Each structure stands twice: as structure tokens, then as C-alpha cells.
Amino acid sequence: MTFGVEDLTVRFGKVEALRDVTVAVPAGEVTAVVGGDGAGKTTLMRALAGLVEPETGTIRRPDVEHLGYLPTGGGSWKELTVDENVAFVGGAYGLSGDELAERADRILARAGLADARGRLAGHLSGGMRTKLGFSLAMLHTPDLLILDEPTTGVDPVSRVELWRMISETVAAGAAVVMSTTYMDEAERAASVVLLGGGRVLLSDPPGDLVAATPGTITVTGTPDDRALAWRVGPQFHEWNPSATPPGATVVQPDLEDACIVAELALRSGTGGDAR
Amino acid sequence: MRAMILKEFRELRRDRRTMAMIIVFPLLLLIIFGYAATFDVEDVPTAALGPQAQLVADQAVGLFDVITIDTDGTADTARTLLRDGDVQVAIATDTQPPTAFVDGSNLFAAQAAVGALGRLGDQITVDVLFNPDLITSWVLVPPLIGYIMMFIGTVVAAIGLVKERENGTLEQLAVMPLSPSSVIMGKITPYFIVAAIDMVVVTLLGMLLFGVPFVGSVAVFAVGVAIFLFVLLGVGVLISTVSQNTGQAIQLAIFFLVPQILLAGMIFPLSSIPWAIRWISYLFPLTYYTTISKGIMLRGAGLDSLWPQYVVLAAMAAFVFTAAVLRFRRDLVPRRHRKPDAAADGAPA
């Protein structure tokens, strides 16, 4: 089963947040949605979850009983304990008794929250809260799991743990779509969708996206065109849409380079910002 | 400091509710309260009863506005008319000298009537019912209980739902298999139970501390209180649907709560408020609760005379809950307009 959106356009008043966006979210895979601030990632996640009414387009998602959603920075009730959060969400999905207890034990243990079950969610660290939110979104074993920037502001160790949980969820057959600003995370996904200005700029498996990067990327200490260059460590990477400057050192692009090039290509003609 | 002042002005300019609170609200309150705040009683609805009823009606001048003449009426009829709130003074002429029964639950009208009747000396006997010593707290405490509950119920319900929005969990609720009405009912039921217990405690405390009597039916009163609480919680939910944060919710609650202090007949009699302002009183639930609480607690009135107040409160409850659910649905529901897997080309389904 493949969920997703097709030719989706979402408008808030005069602002077009998404335009003709098509994203497929197949079962058993992670689909990563990346893009800069205001690219439309959260709008896409909310549209998939049914929280935004599209102007046009098709949305394919399961019914609410089989949908899991983790909004940015949320997903749990701060004034309830971990156990009380689980009891509430489980109850809303009709889970109770031994079935709920068994699932709660398994999921909270996997999330590393087994020792925090009596703590208020508001007193958990950011990473623990995110893992709790993820656990709650997963409690009813949804067919489609929508995660809106689940790892933003989360420490590296918690990010690794969260990814382990995501991988296990995918292995169990769920379709997972997550927005992220971290390219190293996007590289782990089966496919990556790059949004820019509310439109899909790229959409392919990460390897294919990198391979399809147009032109060449060179590494330099003093870029010829700052509008086509971005800082990587102490040096710059510079995109050369056509000819590679003589003597320049060409580097193999990674996913971050590929995404930046796609945005620069979109902006070409109006110039671009140095990165 | 100049930068700070400029920043505050800019923020204030964009915060329309606060601007309204600073500029419009004081003007409105001054105008409304200025006209409403009057202890002067110019007309006291009066019944003339017994064989000399017509004579009493003919001779009654000034304060006493005879609206009922019943030549067959007796002292018992007078008590019934007063208990049901039909009149505030009933003069029974089946005794010698005639007896003027005065409704002590309407304090200012009663004080004015007793003063006027006292000037007649031995020509008439004055019998103040329901509050013989015209104790202020007896009249004030029953509606005050409602006002306190209104404050708590409205604010707590409004904040409770706004907190979901502030914490980002409203969206979480929206993607769970819960209908807007079950979210609202699930949210307010605990508040209702706590508020109902609170109401019992406050009422008992009012009776204990101030000696306020409870003459009427507890069951009838409980039904009225339940409907009243539903209205308050519904208003709270409605406020929460048009507020983005706790501050806005409290501001709106204040807009709703403050005018009722003076306009609901709790302190100043409704009959003293000019009609240009008085119509506003009839939009407030506390106005009807005031009539119900004083009627039942002090006079022992029953549903046969108080049913209009119950009907209005029930209609208010139905209205605010319908409005709250409809507004709340907008927050929760775009997805509920369409079925999963449904094509959405063109207009939303």
C-alpha cells in the first residue's frame, strides 16, 4: 500500500504553501521530506495527517484508527505522567487491559522510557519527550506514521535511538514519512523529497539524487561566484552549472550538496545567497 | 528606553483585544454601569386583594404600581403571589386593618415599600416575608454563589482547552479517533463535576456563615444549577475556540464576566435599570440564575413560577454548546470533510 499526495495544492489566504506537490509514501519505507524554512514541510505533513484542507489534489491516507502523527515538539501531554499519556492515547484508540499493558511495556522499553513511567512528560528531557511522542504515535501500530521534524533539537544519542525505533517500525511494515532538516538522516531514507517554495524540487532515492546533480562541484578557499558557493568546514563548495574552471578541484557531491544545487538552480536568474 | 517604548506601542497596536480592553471597555463599562447603578426604586409591582381591593388600587399612588386586583384574594393569595415573584407587594384587605405583605428578597424594593407603608401608621400592618429583617447578605449571597461559580467555571473551561492549543496537543487530538463533541464533553465533564461539588460547598458555606435560608426544593435548585453550569462551561469552551493563548482567553472571560456584576440583578434591581441598558441583562445567564437562586432559596418558589428562567438557561446552554462545537470543529476537522483515499480534485468534498 502506498500512501501520499498527488498534485496537492494548499493555500492559506493569498499565500500558496504547496503547489502541485506529489509525494509517494510506500509501506515498509521511510520517505524523508527536506527543505529550508518555509519550504512547506510542515504543511505537507499536516495535509497528510488531514489537518489542512487542500485546494486541489489527492491525499491517500488510512483512516484515523490507522494513522499516527507526531507534530513538531509535541505529541504528549506535559501534565500527565508517561504511563498516563499511554493510558489516554491507548484508551482513545480502544486499547485497554493486557493488550495495552503489553504494548506499553514493549514500546516504552524500546524507547528507553521504562524507568521514567511515573515521571511527568513535562519533566522529561527534549529527547525523552520526543521518544514518548513517537511511542504514543506508534501505540496503535498505524499503517502510516507521519513525523514532523522529530529529531529537531534532540541530542545525537537520542536521535540514534529514535532512528532505531523508526527502522523497527518500518521493518514491521508501516509507511513512514518524516520531515527533517538533517541531511545525514535524509540519507538513511529510502527516498528523499526536497521541497522549495512549496514545490517539489527533487524526489528520488538519495543515491539517485546525488548522481543526478547537474554540473560539477568544486572545492575552493575563494569562490569565483559567492552566489553559487556554500561553506563546508573551512572551505567552500562551489557549483559550476556548465564548465568546470581549469585547475579546480572537483568533489563528489553528497545529499546536502545535491539539495543546495537544486535550490540554487531554482533561484538562478534571481541570484542566490552564499551558503 | 525609547526603543522599548516604541516596541511596546507597536505590539500594542497589533494586539487588538488589549487595545479594546484599554480603550473601549472602560467607556462601555462607564456608560453601562452609570445607567445601571441606581438604588432608586420608582415602581413596585403591587397586588390589591380582598373586598377593598379596588379601593386600594384607586388610592395607591407613587411607588406602588398596582398590576393585580383580585377581590376574592386573601392573605394566602398574597403569600403565593410574592413567593412566585409575580408582585413585590401584596395588600390583603380581608383583615382589619389591611395587611401589606412585602417580598424581602427584593431588598431595595422592599426597603422602599416598607418606608412608604410605614408612613401610613396604624392604617396598615406590614409583614415582610422571606427576609423579615431585610438582611443584605441573605439577598446577596444566593446570586453571589452563582457569580463565583461563573468566574471559576468560565475561566477554567476556557483555559483548559486553550492549553491544548498552546501545548500543540490540539493537533494530536485532531488526528485521534475522537469527535469534536466527544473532545469537548470529555474535556468539560471533569470541570462540571468539580464545579458542582464546589457549588455545593460554597452554598453550604454561605448558609452556614451568613445564615441564608434554603426554603425551596433542593432538587429543583440542583437542576437549575446544573443547567447554569453547562452554560458557563459552554461559554468557556466558546471563548477557548476564539483564543490562541491563555492571556486572550482570560481577557475575553473578563469581557463576559465583569458587566454581569451590575447588570444581572444581583446588586441593583433589574426594574431600576433603564430599558436601553436592561436588555443586555437578559443576555446574561447570571440574570436567570439570580432569579432562580433567590426564588428557591429565599421564597421557596417552584418550577411552576420559575420555568421561564429554566427554559431560557437551557436554550442558552444548547446555543453556546452548538456554537462551541461548530467552532471547535473548524480547529479539528478539515480531514473529517473528506474520506480517506478520496480524490480531492477541485472543491473540498
Q: Which residues of A touch B334 (CB under 8 A)?
A: 50-53
Instruction: Spell out the domain ranges in chain B.
Output: 44-129, 136-337
Chain A's closest residue to B329, CA to CA, is A51
- Chain B nearest-CA distance from A91, in A, is 10
Average pLDDT over chain B reads: 87
Cα atoms in the Cβ-side hemisphere of radius 13 Å centred on B93:
15
Put simply, whether A53 touches B (Cβ < 8 Å) is yes
Distance CA A127, CA A154 (A): 5
Average pLDDT over residues B62-81: 91
User: B168 and A74: CB-CB below 8 Å?
Assistant: yes
- B349 to chain A: which residues are within 8 Å by CB? none
Ramachandran angles phi, psi of B66, nearest 5°: -75, 115
Query: Please, are residues A26 and A180 in contact by the beta-carbon 8 Å criterion?
Result: no
Residue of A87 and A161 predicted with greater confidence: A87
Number of CB atoms found within 10 A of residue B84's CB: 16
Name the closest residue on chain A to residue B182, using Cα atoms.
A92
- Selecting from A67, A76, A77 the residue whose C-beta is nearest the C-beta of B175 gives A67
Confidence of residue B336 (pLDDT cuts 50, 70, 90): very low
Higher pLDDT, B337 or B197: B197
Mean pLDDT of B232-249: 90
pLDDT of amino acid B346:
35
According to the model, what pLDDT value does residue A32 have? 96
pLDDT (0 to 100) of residue B343: 39
Mean pLDDT throughout A146-153?
89
Q: Is B121 part of the contact surface with chain A (CB cutoff 8 Å)? A: no
pLDDT over threshold 90, residue B337: no
CB contact under 8 A, A65 and B175: no
Alpha helix ranges (H) inside A139-254 = 156-171, 183-186, 206-211
A50 chain-B contacts, CB cut-off 8 A: 174-175, 334-336, 338
Residue B175 is nearest to which of A50, A72, A94, comparing CB atoms? A50
∠ at Cα B206 (B203, B207), nearest 5°?
A: 90
pLDDT over threshold 50, residue B347? no
What is the average pLDDT across A119-143?
93
pLDDT at A237: 94
Contact call for residues B44 and B279 (beta carbons, < 8 A): no
Question: Which numeric CATH code is attached to A2-203?
Answer: 3.40.50.300
* Chain B residues touching residue A147 (CB < 8 angstroms): none
pLDDT tens-digit series, residues A42-92: 999 999 999 888 999 999 999 999 999 999 877 899 999 999 999 999 999
Query: pTM score, two decimals?
Result: 0.80
A54 to B171: CB separation less than 8 angstroms, yes or no: no
Cβ distance of A50 and B334 shorter than 8 Å: yes
For A183-239, what is each residue's pLDDT tens digit? 988 999 999 999 998 999 999 999 999 999 999 999 999 988 888 999 998 999 999
CB contact under 8 A, B172 and A74: yes
Note the pLDDT of residue B31: 83
State which H helix or E strand residue A85 sits in: helix A82-92
Task: Tell me the mean pLDDT in the region A150-163.
Answer: 86
- Three-state SS for A15? strand
Identify from B171, B179, B332 which residue to disrupt to test chain A contact, counting A C-beta atoms within 10 A and taking the largest count: B171
Q: Which is more confident, B23 or A97?
A: A97
For the question of an ipTM over 0.85, the answer is no
* Mean pLDDT, residues B287-308: 94
pLDDT in tens, A197-208: 899 999 999 999
Backbone angles phi, psi at B128, to 5 degrees: -85, 120
Instruction: Give kind and range of the element (H or E) at residue A231.
Output: strand A229-232
pLDDT greater at residue B274 or residue A86:
A86
Nearest CA in chain A to B174: A51
A52 touches chain B (CB under 8 A): yes
| A173: pLDDT strictly greater than 50 | yes
Grid coordinates belonging to A168: 523497527
In this prediction, residues B230-235 reach a mean pLDDT of: 93
Query: pLDDT digit string (tens) for B110-136?
Result: 999 999 998 888 889 999 999 999 999
Alpha helices in B167-213 (DSSP H): 169-174, 180-210
Chain B nearest C-alpha distance from A55 (Å): 7
Is A24 at the interface with chain B, CB within 8 A?
no
Report residue B124: phi and psi, to 5°. Answer: -150, 145
A11 Cβ under 8 Å from any chain B Cβ: no
Query: How is residue A125 written as a grid cell?
Result: 528531557
Residue A74 or B138, more confident: B138
Q: Mean of the pLDDT values across residues B296-321?
A: 95
Grid coordinates given for A230: 556554500
Report how far Cα B315 is from the mean position of its chain's Cα atoms.
14
CB-based contact A24:A169 (threshold 8 Å): no
Sort out which chain A residues have CB atoms less than 8 A from B340's CB and list them.
60-63
Q: Taking CB atoms and an 8 Å limit, are B346 and A56 in contact across chains?
A: yes
Listed range (A92-96, A247-251, B333-337) with the worst mean pLDDT: B333-337
Residue B262 — very low, low, confident or very high, per pLDDT cuts 50/70/90?
confident
Q: What is the model's pLDDT at position A238? A: 93
* Per-window interface: B 320-339 vs A, CB < 8 A: 334-338
Scan residues 147-186 of B and list those with Cβ closer than 8 Å to A: 167-169, 171-172, 174-178
Please report the pLDDT score of residue B334 as a whole number: 56
- For residue A98, the distance in angstroms to the closest alpha carbon of chain B comes to 21
The one-character DSSP state at A119 is: S
For residues B112 and B63, the answer to whether their CB atoms sit within 8 Å is yes
At residue B56 the predicted structure's pLDDT band, cuts being 50, 70 and 90, is confident
Listed in sequence order, the residues at least 6 apart from B255 whose beta carbon sits closer than 8 Å to its beta carbon are: B21, B25
Bridge pairing between strands A2-12 and A56-60: antiparallel
Chain A, nearest residue to B160 by Cα: A79
3-state secondary structure of B294: helix
pLDDT tens digits, residue range A258-270? 999 998 888 775 3
Q: Give the pLDDT band of residue B333 (cuts 50, 70, 90).
A: low
Which chain A residues touch B176 with a CB distance below 8 Å? Answer: 64, 89, 92-93
A51, A52, A63: which to substitute to probe chain B, counting the most B Cβ within 10 Å? A51
Interface of A with B in 122-151 (CB under 8 A): 136
A58 touches chain B (CB under 8 A): yes
Q: What is the pLDDT of residue A273?
A: 37
Residue B349 above 60 pLDDT?
A: no
Q: What is the pLDDT of residue B39?
A: 76
